[in-house]
Amino acid sequence: MARFTELLILLPCHSLEDFPTYHDGDDSQSLLANWSALWHPELIASAGQALEWKRIEDPPQELPGRLIAVPTVCKERLPTGYAQRVKESGGCLIRGKTNRQEIVDAALAFLGPRENPVNADLAADFLALGYAYLQIALLTRQMRYSSNLDETYFKSQAVAAAQAAVEGNETLAREKLGACFSLLAEERDHYYPVDALIIDIKLMAESTIGQPLRDELVTTTPSNLLISGTVAGQLAAKEPQSLELVRERIQQGTLGIIGGEGTERRLPLLSLEGIEAELELGKQAYESILGKPPEVYGRWKFGLTPQLPGILNRLGYKGALHTSLEDGKVPDGTQLKVRWEGLDGQAIDAIARPPLDASKPQTFVTYATKLGESMDGDHVATICLAHWPGQACCWLGDLQRIAKYCSALGKFVTVEHYFRETAQPGHIDRFEPDRYKSPYLKQGVIRRQDDPISNSVRYWQEHTLQTVANTMQSLASAVSGDVQSAAKYEPDHADDVMGSPTAIAEAESRKSSAAARLSDALAGRSRAAGKGVLVVNPHSFVRRETIEVKNFTALPAIEKPIYAVGGTAAAGQVVVDVPPLGFVWIPAENKPAKDTKQPMLAEENVLRNEFFEAIINPVTGTLGALHEYGKRGNRMSQQLALRLPGPSQKPGDTYRDPDETAVYSVMAADSVEVTAATTAIGEVTCKGRLLDREGKKLAGFVQKYRVSRGSRVLQIQVELDPIEQPRADPWNSYYCARFAWPDPSAELFRTLHQTRVPFGGKQCEAPHYIDVVTVKDNTTILTGGLPFHRRHDSRMLDSLLITRGERARQFNFGVGVDVKYPLTEAISLLAGPTVVENAPCPHSGTTGWLAHLDARNVFVTSCQPLVEEGRVAGLQLRLLETEGRPAKAAIRTFRPLASGQVVDYQGEGLRKLEVEEGKVRVELTPHEWQWVQVRF
């Protein structure tokens, strides 16, 4: 039987200081495969020594009996004829191979037939020792230390272990192997004496359920599953054996679970109510399927928002995976483990850097570099790895084997152990909203989803209508004491395709039914009293509503709460101020009022009320100017346009911003007509075409401008009939509403989950409003649920209406002039007024409120009755601070309040609230979402 005299690998470096860790793909695979393959026990026993290395520029000249491995990075640098000379001299040259087992097989084939091959599991431990030896050597240099390893003793122990393995003495072989690993651990302890941790995350999808997952679940090395509630359900249905393994390992504490919602929705585009509902549904799914809910939040799809830490805290999560594993951008933390602070000041521990891809060999070539960087800079030295089941490199298996002997290269832990046992970071990371960049629009177009824009519009319409209906049902229950009429919060129809026309119709029906129930509750036994119109305000802020009335004997007099009237008694308009969470009843029978001789609000191409004047360009149909009385200059202009990308850049051309080369269409009006003109409302309708620069028609349009007396909002309704279709890139080619303002230094703010946050980037999602703020004033673009907006230079903004795949053709938005609290106008635009026709007069009078909150920057996102012992004992309110500043508010209801408390999301009391003269006082931090119970 042949024997080797030396085991040698040729490397393209002068020392291990410049070991080529920069290679990737097959080159990095080949480097590690050739290095570790030569640590096979039969090869070491044959040579009587462990692996050595030489520079590729200085290959050995004494060749008989030498085993020489040449990675792919060195293959072309071998001297011409050298391979033939090795063969003729009786040596063995293995070059250009990337598979470790193939290298081992080729080397063992040179030795000839084997009578008693070494146990495969034991041989794998030797290969892992070779990998550990290399990484410890690289780590020592990465940490700027000189090696203290007794190389002679280490290699003698390795040879002794190999010889024992070949002789069949597995016990002695493992004892000697253990000594080698202990030496490596001692070497590392010289410069880092505490454990580094390894978090191995297996990514789960429906397609990964099967044998690869079962194979990985059999091992006892601590690992983690990133799995959604939906996939957990599929696992239970398709692979009950795998599910049983998962449950066993969870109970043993060797498998951590990372998860959140039942289905991974587009959280940044949802309401806080929707997010909380989805997480609660997910929690129930995990408990029923896996036996316990996850303690660590995480998801595969993009979906993180700065509002999550507070919600996760109150739902009992101990940590979070703050990263996105698909498209989109999530900010990295200053360290791997950080204290992630949300907009409301609440914080949760999080892993805030992307995990390393365990399916790529370069991850394991650079392992020592990454570990050294973590030891140098992180509060807790951590390597986080992620992979699909069955798709990790063999080097992950090496790390798992190494960890059984020592923790020199890290200790595998579950995420629960990691967040429970490691020290809390001393530094807090607060990530600004602009640093989260979602891929939703681009994904929707690439995946050919229907309505990538309007599905979000429908979602917010449906959500607002459902909230309105729930609030009115709850108020009706509180007034009547009828527990059966209490409304329970229903989760939003939030999906990758959010909302539907059917769902909106159902929500409208619920709204009408709830309004009628509230009207009956307010009327009590006096339902036979005179008939009229009941205007209900289901929001926590005062509303000035413009309603259409028909068949009145006369329009009501202009006195509080009536602000203005217009038209005729047969078909007129009434502008009425409705108290927050209150009502106004307008009788149908009125005495003729004195003529106030107020001016009409529309004439030719001009709309005006007491706050502003809007001038429509008669040639183009655009909003040419918006003026505020007493101030010079235009506040904002608006037009419709098709944006098309400019000419493609040629190789070698100087880079140009797409905004500089983009081409926009122009508007041409065929008619500009006054379509409504009374003392209460004014409306101008423009019909025309969108043209390119050569006069080609690209689309037809109808744009209506509408203004009401007493309103600071110019409403705009658009209908487009596109001929030219946008290109495939949705952020560079689209139909849009373009807005322009004169001051390039204006600051922009937008909404995120109904709260106000700065907008300083180029693209954003803002389904409620974008506020353009200057030193003297603010002009607000009310987006009406339109989520996607692109800033064009310093004083223009495109609100996207139609991209490829979008079927909606009608859109509503508005422009507000010096609106102090834009969210109130944004919500009203989505829901519209709530009116009950032929309603009896409420027994308490023609106007009143049922609950009151005296802080305008606090919004009630949900109002539910508090039912105790079969009776309505109070109200449960969810309060959201919307302006980004602290708030002190007093809560009052139509009945004096006796007590109040802040509760968590499970209804458990957190702290008592002060009660004074029947009012409950509450304080909120900026952006805080607080749940409050008040008792009558």
Angle at 149 between CA 146 and CA 155, to 5 degrees: 140
Q: Is the pLDDT of residue 54 over 90?
A: yes
Least confident residue range of 78-87, 498-507, 559-568, 769-778: 498-507
Q: Is the pLDDT of residue 662 over 80?
A: yes
Q: Is the pLDDT of residue 494 over 70?
A: no
CA–CA gap between residue 271 and residue 165 (Å, rounded): 63
Q: Is the pLDDT of residue 609 over 70?
A: yes
Taken in order 592, 594, 597, 601, the sign of the CA dihedral is: negative
CA–CA gap between residue 35 and residue 18 (Å, rounded): 16
CA–CA gap between residue 288 and residue 295 (Å, rounded): 15
* Residue 877 burial (C-beta neighbours within 10 Å; 0-12, 13-18, 19+): buried
Q: What is the pLDDT of residue 499?
A: 67
Q: Is the pLDDT of residue 493 over 50?
A: no
Least confident residue range of 96-100, 344-348, 649-653: 649-653
Residue range 67-82, pLDDT digits in tens: 999 999 998 889 888 9
The band of 870, judged by pLDDT with boundaries at 50, 70 and 90, is confident
The band of 597, judged by pLDDT with boundaries at 50, 70 and 90, is confident
Percent of the chain with pLDDT over 70: 97
Q: What is the pLDDT of residue 546?
A: 95
Q: What is the pLDDT of residue 488?
A: 52
Average pLDDT of the residues in 826-853: 92
- Tell me if 690 sits within 8 A of 699, measured CB to CB: yes
Q: Which helix (H) or strand (E) holds 651?
A: none
Q: Is the pLDDT of residue 530 over 80?
A: no
Is 526 or 268 the better-scoring residue by pLDDT?
A: 268
Return the closest-CA partner of residue 607 out of 626, 591, 593, 590.
Answer: 626
Least confident residue range of 559-563, 622-626, 902-906: 902-906
The band of 654, judged by pLDDT with boundaries at 50, 70 and 90, is confident
Neighbouring residues of 121: CB distance < 8 A, sequence distance ≥ 6? none
Least confident residue range of 1-15, 174-188, 364-378: 1-15
Q: Is the pLDDT of residue 492 over 50?
A: no
Least confident residue range of 93-107, 489-503, 921-935: 489-503
The band of 489, judged by pLDDT with boundaries at 50, 70 and 90, is very low
Average pLDDT of the residues in 675-683: 95
Residue range 214-271, pLDDT digits in tens: 988 988 899 999 999 999 999 999 999 999 999 999 999 999 999 999 889 999 999 9
Q: Is the pLDDT of residue 680 over 80?
A: yes
- Tell me if 825 sits within 8 A of 708, measured CB to CB: no
Q: What is the pLDDT of residue 570?
A: 87
Residue range 531-562, pLDDT digits in tens: 899 999 999 999 999 999 998 988 998 999 99
Q: What is the pLDDT of residue 490?
A: 52
Neighbouring residues of 849: CB distance < 8 A, sequence distance ≥ 6? 579, 580, 581, 582, 583, 894
Residue range 683-733, pLDDT digits in tens: 999 999 999 989 999 999 999 999 999 999 999 999 999 999 999 999 999
- Tell me if 900 sits within 8 A of 851, measured CB to CB: no
CA–CA gap between residue 860 and residue 747 (Å, rounded): 27
Q: Where are the alpha helices (DSSP H) in 56-200?
A: 82-88, 100-111, 120-142, 151-166, 170-189
Residue range 408-450, pLDDT digits in tens: 999 999 999 999 999 888 778 999 999 999 999 999 999 999 9
What's the whole-number average pLDDT of the chain? 92
Q: What is the pLDDT of residue 646?
A: 84
| Largest Cα–Cα separation, the chain | 120
Instruction: Please state whether the predicted TM-score (pTM) of the whole model is above 0.85.
Output: yes
